[in-house]
Each structure stands twice: as structure tokens, then as C-alpha cells.
Structure 1
Amino acid sequence: MSLATVYSRAQNGMHSLPITIEVHLANGLPGFTVVGLPEAAVRESKDRVRAAIQNAGFAFPNKRITVSLAPADVPKEGSRFDLAIGIGILVASGQMDGKLLEDHEFVGELALSGEIRAVRGILPTALACATDKHTLIVPEQNADEAALVQSLTAYKAKHLLDIFAHTQDSPLPQISYQPHSHTDESPLDFADIKGQEHAKRILLIAAAGGHNVLMLGSPGTGKSMLASRMPTILPDMTETEALETASLYSISHHGFNPAQWGKRPFRQPHHSASSPALVGGGSNPKPGEISLAHNGVLFLDELPEFSRQVLEVLREPLENNHISISRA
């Protein structure tokens, strides 16, 4: 077979879009072309994939290789397509059986040695795969994220050879659903505050009703101390809230941390933060401080020191309780 079709996912904000990766091997001058609106990291994947296939003991086909990432009008970024492209080349060249992989999706970066490295955004991908009832194969280091989705069938792989063995009746380790229990190990506690009864009463009312709070006072009166302990009196997160917050951190530059599962986030941006830092953005939109504080507390210390433009972008999120980023 000179044509193989493999499936993966592209990250677009909080959404994980299905991507069909078609690999075609043709006679002619040897070459490796990736089409379908790939950005720099995706175009560089051809060098990683070539080395990974060779160092794993497979033969890299000496043919004209065309890799198409469809739909072509969806931007593709990052190294998450490495594994799927490598699998497609092995299947197209007849070195791997593709029958067992028809309903599978692959996400992961390939090291030059053939090992599979972790990538960001696994949790939204796992949720989308569970909805579509597809089987997901992820790097071993991302197994904790995939294990948070109850209805997902997923496997973890450490090396390209592990997936080859999976097609030869030597199954990969399956990822079992593991509900994380929230253990609050925060050194801060609302009960530590002595006095300030009026302020504590206000924060308790705000925490119970989900209200905003504006604190005024001289320096050193305990405003920051009170705000930093407010997450400890908020109600425990529901499973849906915990998944939403974990998904946001999974696609951000912070990455997913299992130790933070179920903890209310507390974000305190510096007063020199720009508007994009607060609301998010970028060529491929990333969450800002407002989104990262979702289901938690956003504390703007020294509020008058923030620029007027930054304060104006807070108007819509405060009025509508959600934030939307649109790009031309």
C-alpha cells in the first residue's frame, strides 16, 4: 500500500479539531513534503520523523513522500502530529499493519531515538475522542491527563516500537479511568486570619454568592492576605468544573499538573500586565489570566496602577460572565 490514512487532533483554543493525515509514497526523486497549512514546528517534523523511524530499526522509504493534513484550511501547530505522521509512513511503506489502527487517533512528539514525548493539550483531545468514541494513543507522560476522562478508551506508549508491537498482538498498556481526589495542601487557610471580622464577613458572602469584591484600605491592612485565602472558603469543585479548569491549564504554557486537580485557581497578575496577557490571544489563541482564573479567584492588586486599556477589557467579562476572543 502506497497510501495510508491516520487520524489525530489539532488544538484550536479549547476545541480539539479532528485532523486526517494522509501519507502517499510515490516513485520519483526522493523528497518529503508536508501540506495543509503547517506552521514551523510541523514542517520540521519531517526531520524528527525520519530519524525516529531509522533509529527504531525501520527502513525509511527512499521515495517521494507527501503528507497532507486535512482539512487544509485549519492551521496546524506544534509537534503533536509527529507520531501520526510516523505511523502513516510505516503503514504506507508496508512495514506496519494498519488494520488495527483504523479507529485510533495518535498524538505525540517523536524524539530522534524513536521515543514518544509528551505534548500539551491532551485533556481536550481526550474529551473529544471520548465523544467520538475513538481510541486514543498518547505518550506515557500524558497518561495522567487521559485518565481523567471516564468514557475514554486510551493506551499509553513510550516508544515507536511499542505501537508496532501493539499491531502484532502485544497490546499497549491501557489507561484506566482514575478519578482524582482533591487534597488541599495549601499553606494558606482562611482560619489563620485573626480579627478583620467585617472583612471576613464580606468575603464569606462573596464566596457563597459568587460576587465581586472591591477592597479599599491603607497599605498593610491585610487586603492581599484576605484575597489570597479566599479560594480556601470556596465550595469544592464539581467534576465538570475541575475538567474545565484542567483543560484550560492543559492548553496553556503552564501545562497540566495533577497535583492541582480540583483546586480553585488563584491568579494575581502584576499591574504592568498587558491586555493580551489578561484576556488571552495570539495567532493560535491561548488563555489569559481571566480564563486561567476560571472557577477560582482573579486578584488585581494595586488596581489603580493598571492601565486604563487593561481595565476596560474587564468590562465585558464582568458583565457577561464569559470572554470571547475573535481574530480577523
Structure 2
Amino acid sequence: MLVKTYGSSVFGIDATTITIEVDVTKGIKFMLVGLPDSAVKESQQRIESALRLNGFKWPRYKIIINMAPADIRKEGSAYDLPLAAAILAASDQISAEKLSKFVLMGELSLDGTLQPIKGVLPIAINARKEGFEGFILPKQNAREAAVVDKLNVYGAENIREVIDFLNGENKIEQTIVDTRAEFYARMNNNPLDFSDVKGQENVKRALEIAAAGGHNIILIGPPGSGKTMLAKRIPTILPPFTLKEALETTKIHSVAGKIGKDTSLMTRRPFRSPHHTISDVALVGGGNYPQPGEISLAHNGVLFLDELPEFKRTVLEVMRQPLEDRLITISRAKFSVEYPSSFMLVASMNPCPCGYYNHPTKECVCGPGVVQKYLNKISGPLLDRIDIHLEVVPVPFKKLAEAESSENSETVRERVMKARKIQEARFENHKGIYANAQMNSKLIRKYVQLDEAGNELIKNAMDKLGLSARAYDRILKVARTIADLEAEENVQAHHLSEAIHYRSLDRENWGG
């Protein structure tokens, strides 16, 4: 008897429906075809044990299984459940009536318990698109799938519950999530706040500008000056997720298996902080069957690289293209995968190996040329792609001991959101651009009109600092954001002056 069940394969951040065809006839052979990987092939042993321990029999006949389309590689153990259901239906042990209405996915333990799987959200989105009535999956993943409306989601704990449901002998409780209510209730739930940071008002100002325009920023300062503390609080001043951004980010984390148990939708912007020993593949994504890397997991959020010069140069260089295109394409011989990577890069570094170059009170003990050699670990083209270079000085004890708290994140965020609304209105006719940091040269010329004083100021800065054309564009973008924060229609000389100030590493006194 021939029976069909339906599963799904995740490719990039999108899913494709997989039709599992099972034919049970006379004979003693077991054949599984359709480009299954080792984990799929090993499902026979898991399924056989799960069926036996739940009162069912493995058919002692010839079993032929085809996973179509046969030219798409099938990966992972999540096909255990649809394979088991198809084998039972093809051998007349359960009813096949409901199988065509549902997508089934789940890994089986030997006792039939369902284990959580990856990529649930894109699978659920595709199931609704393909017109399936519902999605049966492990209970731990049910809330994640229930984010998708107009799709019945049933979370089961073991294969016995699924079999009884397909036979009509019992009901599995449908998982329902009020996506909008839950999203808006949890979107501002963050334990960190800008008011925790004493002093550093000039740094906070620069971070506010970076958040308002989506600019990349690098913080240079001695150990203990608060660089990491400040960086961790950047997501608290970024505009809250829109529902569309939350769904897009959750899809990426779902594919990577980074969604927590019983979690439905990500409500806070991601903050990714990989260690400096990370490989280039782990940063941008890859593998035989490419998975998203840290830059994609930071999509719509912040990628924080602490101690930037300690990262391998090859790792840093692979970021150059994603920083410009906000998209990473991972190519293999037979296919390529695209992952979005629109993130805000925040980096920090000591000014030299000992950490005290340009320190107001402590003396640097590095030898001649050591500081420049240390800075040269970061290439010029990468630094050019970072809009704001800011020197961070230690906070004096008097500031640390003050009882008065500083401005909180919510106040700063309100100003950032007002500036972002101005930018949204400006770029409403430009697809894919929502912040000043994304402007190309044509848009810069259109929206950054300088007067005579501004032109003279930027000309002198270019001559004195020896800035590249890309650095020139970056200064204009930052100046445009400063003007937006002040709700000014035109970029004025004092906006440019502040933007030029945020190019610390271009100054002559850096690196000796």
C-alpha cells in the first residue's frame, strides 16, 4: 500500500515541503532514497524501537521510502515522525485519512518521546503558504510555530499522542499564541540601562548618534574605562523591534537552533558578542550545508567585537562585504545560500598592547613602533567602514562616587526613535534603506547639502587628516544623523564639526 506524508526541509531561512512516499509490499528489504544524510538513514533504528515500545510492529515486508523532491539533500533527525507515521499507515496499523492535511516533524527517542527540532518557524510559514490545515511537532517547539496565524499547531510529547490523534481517538490541545499581545508586552523587558553608567557623557552622546543612524562604531580606550559596559547597553536605546523585524530575526535564530524552549517570538534586538578566537566560517556562516553565522544572528541587532585587534585578520576581512551589502552569500559547488546580515557593528579595543597609550595619568610602556604595529592589525578598509571612532577615557573617582543617576535608556531611545522616523519618511521611496548609515553616494549628494562654511570645513579636514573618499562619505552620513537628532532640515557646520571629531583613528597623534 502506498501512503504519503509531508515534512519540510529548511534551506537558508526558507522551507520547502518534502513529500515522503512509503510503499509496503511483499519482501524483506528496506530502502530509503531521495538524498537522505546519515541522520535520516539512521532513523530506521529509532523508529523501530519507538514503535515496538508503544505497542506497534515494524512491518516484516519490503519497505520502499522516497523523499521527494529527490534532488534536495535531506538533513537531520526531524524526519523521524513523518517516516514513522507513513510506515504505520502503509502497513494498515493506523488511519491514513488525516495525513494529507498536516505537516509532521520531530525527532524520536527510542521510547517514542519527541525531541525538539530546528527551523520550526520557516517550516510553519511554508505550511500555511502551501495550504496545510495544521502542523504536528514536538511540544517544546509548539509556541514558536504558533506565531504563524491561520495554521493549527499541535504540540505532542510522544508518538503515541500523534498516532491516537491521527486515528481520531483523542485530541491534542491546540497551541494558540496571541503574537501581537505577547510581542508588545515583552518588547521593553531589558535588565540593562544607560543610567547604570556613571559619567562618559560624550561616549553616550556618540552611541546615541550611532543608534539613531544605524552607524558602526569603535571605542578605543584603556582597560576598565567602561567600553564593554556601554556596548552591552546599546540595544536598550535602539528602536524597538517591529513585528516584521521580529519575525525575520526569529527565523534566523530558529534555523540555527538558538530559540529557547517554549519561546514564541524574539522581542528584543539580538546582541552577539563572539570571542576573539572565532573562525571566519563561524562569523559569516558556512559548513557543508551552510548555517547562519554570528553576523546573521546579529541581524537587526548589534554585533559586538571586544578587543578587535585580537581577532585574526582573515576573520575581520570577511566582514567587509557584509558590512556594505547587509547580506552574506555562502556559495558551494552545487548551490548558494543567502542570509541577511543587517547589523550594527560595535567594536572595542585598547590603544596599545599595554593599554595605556594616550592615558591621562598612566604611562605607556610599549616600545617604539609597537603602538602603530598594534593598530595595523586592523586594516584601513575595515576602519573606513566604521563611521564613528571614539576615544574613551577612564571615569574619575568623583564621578563614580556621585549618587545622582544619569539619563536612562528610555529617554535616549525616544530621541533615537524621533530621528529614525525622520529617516523613514526621507527614505520611504527607497526600498531596503531605512537609516542614514545605508545611504549610497547618490543619496548622500541628495540629502546632505552643504553651505559654503560646511564645504570649507570638510575640505580642511580632508587635507589635514588625509581621509579617504569612503571616510568623507561616512562623515557626511554621521553629520546627517546629528542634524536629524536636532530635527534640522539642513546639515550645518557644527554638525560636520562634531562628525569629524568622531574620527579619532584618523588623527595624526594616533599611533605615533
Q: Please indicate the TM-score interval, normalised by the length of the shorter structure.
A: over 0.9
2:33 corresponds to: 35
Task: Name the SS of the counterpart of 1:215 in structure 2.
Answer: strand
State the distance in 2 between where 1:225 and 1:61 align: 61
User: Which amino acid is the alignment partner of residue 315 of structure 2?
Assistant: V
Instruction: From the superposition, tell whether residues 105 and 99 of structure 1 become closer, same or farther in structure 2 (CA, over 3 Å).
Output: same
The question of 1:269 aligning with 2:269 is answered no
User: Cα offset for 1:213?
Assistant: 0.9
1:228-262: CA deviation from partner (whole Å, max 9, x where unpaired):
11011111111111112222221214344528821
Bigger mean CA deviation after superposition, 211-220 or 15-24: 211-220
Counterpart in the other structure of 2:230: 226
* 1:96 positional shift: 1.2
Q: Where does residue 94 of structure 2 map in the other structure? A: 96
Is 1:205 the equivalent of 2:209?
A: yes
Task: Determine the C-alpha separation between the residues in 1 that align with 2:66 and 2:203.
Answer: 60
Which residue pairs with 1:174 in the alignment?
A: 174
1:9 deviation in Å? 0.3
* Residues 3-22 of structure 1 mapped to structure 2, 5 A cutoff: 3-22=2-21
| Residue 146 of structure 2 corresponds to residue 141 of structure 1 | no
1:327 matched to which residue of 2? 332
Cα distance in 2, alignment partners of residues 99 and 87 from structure 1: 12
Asked if the contact 1:21–1:85 (Cα under 8 Å) also holds between the matched residues in 2, the reply is yes
Check the 8 A contact 1:31/1:65 in 2, yes or no.
Answer: yes
Q: Deviations over 1:24-79 (max 9, x none)?
A: 11212x23221111111111000111111122112221101111111111111111
SS in 2 for 1:323: strand
The equivalent residue for 2:501 is none
1:314 to 302, 316, 319: 319
Distance verdict in 2 for CA 1:293–1:76, change over 3 Å: same
Aligned partners of 1:182 and 1:281: how far apart in 2?
32
CA distance in structure 1 between the partners assigned to 2:250 and 2:242 by the alignment? 12
Give, as a single letter, the amino acid of the residue that structure 2 aligns with 1:101. Answer: L
Paired with 2:167 and 2:17, the residues of 1 have a C-alpha distance of 27
Taking the aligned partners of 1:36 and 1:83, their CA distance within structure 2 comes to 17
Structure 1 CA distance for aligned equivalents of residues 248 and 265 of structure 2: 13
What residue identity is the alignment partner of 2:239?
P
Matched, 1:236 2:240: yes
- Amino acid across the alignment from 1:53: L
The match for 1:109 among 107, 110, 119 is 107
Match among 213, 220, 223 for residue 216 of structure 1: 220
Q: Which amino acid aligns with 1:222?
A: G
- Offset at 1:161? 2.2
- Whole-angstrom distance in 2 between the partners of 1:199 and 1:164: 60
CA distance in 2, matches of 1:164, 1:310: 49
Task: Please tell me the residue identity of whatever aligns with 2:247.
Answer: L
Residue in structure 2 matched with residue 291 of structure 1 by the alignment: 296
Is there any run of 5+ residues in structure 1 with no aligned partner, and where?
none
> Taking structure 2 as the reference length, what is the TM-score of the superposition?
0.61
Q: Which deviates more from structure 2 when the two are superposed, residues 218-227 or residues 203-212?
A: 218-227
1:248 aligns with one of 247, 252, 260: 252
| Aligned residue in 1 for 2:83 | 85
1:205 is displaced (CA, Å) by: 1.2
The CA RMSD measured in Å over matched residues stands at 1.7
Which deviates further from its counterpart, 160-169 or 54-63?
160-169
Report if the CA contact (8 A) 1:13-1:284 is conserved: no
Q: Residues of 1 paired with 2:254 and 2:232: CA distance?
A: 23
What residue in structure 2 maps to residue 24 of structure 1?
A: 23
Q: How many residues align?
A: 326
Structure 1 pair 260–140 and aligned structure 2 pair: CA distance change class (3 A): closer
**When the two structures are superposed, what TM-score results if normalisation uses the length of structure 1?**
0.94
Structure 2 CA distance for aligned equivalents of residues 130 and 253 of structure 1? 21
Structure 2 unaligned blocks of 5 or more: 334-512
Q: What CA deviation, in whole Å up to 9, does each residue of 1:242-297 have, x standing for no partner?
A: 11222222121434452882111111112221110110101121111101111111
2:200 pairs with 196, 205, 208, which one? Answer: 196
Structure-1 residue corresponding to 2:130: 132
Determine the C-alpha separation between the residues in 1 that align with 2:166 and 2:294. Answer: 44
Which amino acid in the other structure matches residue 164 of structure 2? A
Task: Tell me how far apart the structure 1 counterparts of residues 265 and 57 of structure 2 sit (CA, whole Å).
Answer: 43
Indicate the SS of the match to 1:138. Answer: strand
Contact 1:130–1:153 (8 Å) recurs in 2: no
In the other structure, the counterpart of 1:159 is: 158
Tell whether the 8 Å contact from 1:246 to 1:256 is kept in structure 2 after alignment.
Answer: no
1:184 Cα deviation from its structure 2 partner: 4.6
Shift in Å, 1:183: 5.3
Distance verdict in 2 for CA 1:175–1:259, change over 3 Å = closer
Deviation at 1:214, TM superposition (A): 1.9
Q: Is the 2:284–2:296 contact (alpha carbons within 8 Å) kept by the matching residues of 1?
A: yes
State the SS of the aligned residue for 2:162.
helix
Quote the offset at 1:106 in angstroms. Answer: 0.3
Please list, as runs of the form range in 1=range in 2, the aligned pairs for 1:114-125 lying within 5 A after superposition. Answer: 114-125=112-123
Shift of residue 114, structure 1, vs aligned partner: 2.0
What letter matches 1:23 in structure 2?
Answer: V
* Residue deviations 1:100-134 (CA, integer Å, cap 9, x gap): 22121100011222222211111111111122221
Q: Secondary structure at the match of 1:33?
A: strand
* Identity over aligned pairs, percent: 47
SS at match of 1:174: coil
Would you say 1:302 and 2:314 are equivalent positions? Answer: no
1:62 aligns with 2:60: yes
The code of the aligned residue for 1:175 comes to T
